[in-house]
């Protein structure tokens, strides 16, 4: 049994998208270098992701930032309670 996770997150100034398998990072989007990174050790059978994985991560960041704006507008009149 394996645990497979995909993480997508964003803020006004930063973002992240990564794929993990059993707690090990298999792929992540490097938005500074504008490429996908596969940080797998050389002693395993290398798993690779589709060439368009990074482009998909960029699209997901735009969706995330749009959703963040929508939630901010929806929550702007809510009062902070202890």
- What structural domains and CATH numbers belong to the chain? 4-75 (3.10.320.10)
Q: pLDDT tens digits for 8-18?
A: 999 989 999 99
In the three-class reduction of DSSP (H, G, I as helix; E, B as strand; rest coil), residue 52 is classed as coil
**Whether pLDDT at 57 is above 80:** yes
**pLDDT tier at 77 (50, 70, 90 boundaries)?**
confident
CA distance 77 to 37: 41
Nearest to 36 by CA among 68, 66, 64, 60: 60
Taking the whole predicted model, whether its pTM rises above 0.85 is answered as no
* Helix, strand, coil % in the chain, rounded to nearest 5: 30, 30, 45
CA distance 76 to 73: 5
């Amino acid at each position: 049994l394996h645990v497979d996770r995909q993480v997508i997150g964003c803020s006004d100034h930063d973002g992240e998208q990564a794929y993990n398998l059993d707690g090990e990072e298999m792929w992540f989007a490097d938005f500074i270098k504008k490429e996908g990174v596969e940080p797998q050790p050389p002693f395993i059978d290398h798993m690779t992701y589709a060439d368009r994985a990074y482009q998909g991560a960029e699209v997901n960041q735009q969706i995330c930032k749009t959703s963040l704006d929508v939630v901010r507008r929806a929550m702007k009149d809510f009062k902070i309670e202890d």
